[in-house]
Amino acid sequence: MAEAEKIIEIEVLRYRPEQDAAPVAQRYRVPFTDDMSVLQGLQYIKDHIDGTLSFRWSCRMAICGSCGMMIDGKPRLSCKTFLREFHPAGLRVEALAHFPIERDLVAGVDDFIVKLESIKPYLIPKESRSLEQGEYLQTPHELEQYEQFSSCINCMLCYAACPQYGLDSKFTGPGVLALLHRYNVDSRDGGREQRMQLVNAEEGVWSCTAVGYCSEVCPKAVDPANAVNLNKVNSAKDYFLRFVRPRKP
C-alpha cells in the first residue's frame, strides 16, 4: 500500500538583484519523505518547481561546509537538517545571517575568506628541519590539544550565530580565531608570536562578549567560543607581561 504523499511548505527568502529592490518571501509546496533533508527539498524546488532558485551545496554529508543557511531563524547545514522536523508547520529558509545576500540563499563570503587568510593558517616551524630528520612525532596528548579545533569545515554557521560579527564585521570572528588557536597549540607550530598581533587587537578576541551561540550551532563541535575566550587570558598575559618578558632579538 502506497504511503499518502506528505507535503511541506518551504518559505524561501528570494533575492534577485536584477529585479528585486529588496528580498521577498516565496512559498513552495514540496512533497517529502522522512529521509529528506532541507537541501533535498531545495533541490526538488529547483528541479521541478522553480529553476531560478539559487543555493550552494556540494557533499550533502556535512563535511564541505557549503550549504549553511538560516532554517527557521537558526544557522544550520541544510544537508544535515531534515524536513520532517518542521512538519506540519512548514519552514522558513534564508541566506546565512550577518553576510550580504548575493542572490537567494547565496551569501557573500568574501570577508570570511580574507580573514581566514590573515591568520597564517598553516604550520610555521619552530626551527628549520631537514628531510633527514624525518617526520614530526606527536603524542596522543599533544594531538588532543588541537584536534577539536582542526575539525572546522569553514561553514560559517558560527559567523551567522555571532551577534558581535553581525554588529561589526571588523571582528575576526569565531571560526577564524578557532583556527588560529588550532595552529598555536599544535606542538609542531612556532608561529604564536606572529599571530598574537591579531589576537591582541580590538578586532581580535576583544570584540567577543562570550555570547557562546557560535559553539551552540557548530556542526562539528569545534567550540570556537572556547578558543576565543581562553585567548583573552593569553592576550591579557601578553599585555601585562610584555614589560617583563625579554624581547626576541
Partner 1 sequence: MSARRPYMRPMRGWWRRDPFFVRYMIREATALIVAAYALVLLAGVLCLAQGEAAWNGWLTQLRSPVSIVLHVLMLAVMIYHTYSWFEIMPKTMPALFVGGKRVTATTITMSGLAAAVAAAAALLALAWMLRP
Partner 2 sequence: MKRSNAPVFWGLFGAGGMLSALLGPMLVFITGIAVPLGLVLPRDFMSYPRMLAFAQHWAGKSFVFAVIALFIWHAAHRIFHSLHDVGIRTGAVAKLIFYGAALLVTLLTLRALLVIGF
Grid coordinates belonging to 114: 580574507
Give, as one character, the DSSP assignment of residue 248: P
- Dihedral of CA atoms 97, 101, 102, 106 in degrees, nearest 10, equals 40
Residue 9 sits at φ, ψ, to 5 deg, of -95, 120
Q: Kindly tell me which of 100 and 163 has the beta carbon lying closer to partner 2.
A: 163
Q: Is 63 in the site for partner 1 (CB under 8 A)?
A: no
Residue list 95-134, contact with partner 2 (CB under 8 A):
none
CA angle 86, 165, 105 (to 5 degrees): 40
Residue list 118-177, contact with partner 1 (CB under 8 A):
141, 144-145, 163, 166-167
Grid coordinates belonging to 229: 575566550
Q: Is 25 in the site for partner 1 (CB under 8 A)?
A: no
Provide the minimum distance between the beta carbon of 143 and partner 1 in the complex, in angstroms, as a whole number.
12
Q: Is 249 in the site for partner 1 (CB under 8 A)?
A: no
Q: Which helix (H) or strand (E) holds 101?
A: strand 101-103
Grid coordinates belonging to 99: 553576510
203's contact among partner 1, partner 2, none, with CB below 5 to 8 A by partner kind, is: partner 2
- Cα separation of 178 and 152, whole Å? 8
- Asked whether the beta carbons of 40 and 81 are under 8 A apart, the reply is no
Q: Is 226 in the site for partner 1 (CB under 8 A)?
A: yes
Q: Is 213 in the site for partner 1 (CB under 8 A)?
A: yes
Provide the minimum distance between the beta carbon of 208 and partner 1 in the complex, in angstroms, as a whole number.
10
Size, binding site for partner 2 by CB under 8 A: 16
DSSP SS3 for 71:
strand
204's contact among partner 1, partner 2, none, with CB below 5 to 8 A by partner kind, is: partner 2
Choices 17-25, 48-56, 172-180, 187-195 (CB under 8 A): range interacting with partner 1: 17-25
- Cα separation of 45 and 102, whole Å? 19
Q: Kindly tell me which of 17 and 51 has the beta carbon lying closer to partner 1.
A: 17
The residues facing 106 across adjacent strands are: 103
35's contact among partner 1, partner 2, none, with CB below 5 to 8 A by partner kind, is: none
- The β-bridge relationship of strands 74-77 and 24-32 is unpaired
Q: Kindly tell me which of 2 and 241 has the beta carbon lying closer to partner 2.
A: 241
Q: Is 200 in the site for partner 2 (CB under 8 A)?
A: yes
Provide the minimum distance between the beta carbon of 75 and partner 2 in the complex, in angstroms, as a whole number.
19
CA angle 34, 44, 100 (to 5 degrees): 105
Give helix 174-184 / helix 224-241 axis angle, nearest 10°: 60
187's contact among partner 1, partner 2, none, with CB below 5 to 8 A by partner kind, is: none
Which residues contribute to the site for partner 1 (CB under 8 A)?
15, 17-18, 22-23, 73-74, 97, 100-102, 108, 141, 144-145, 163, 166-167, 209-213, 215-216, 223, 225-226, 229-230, 232-233
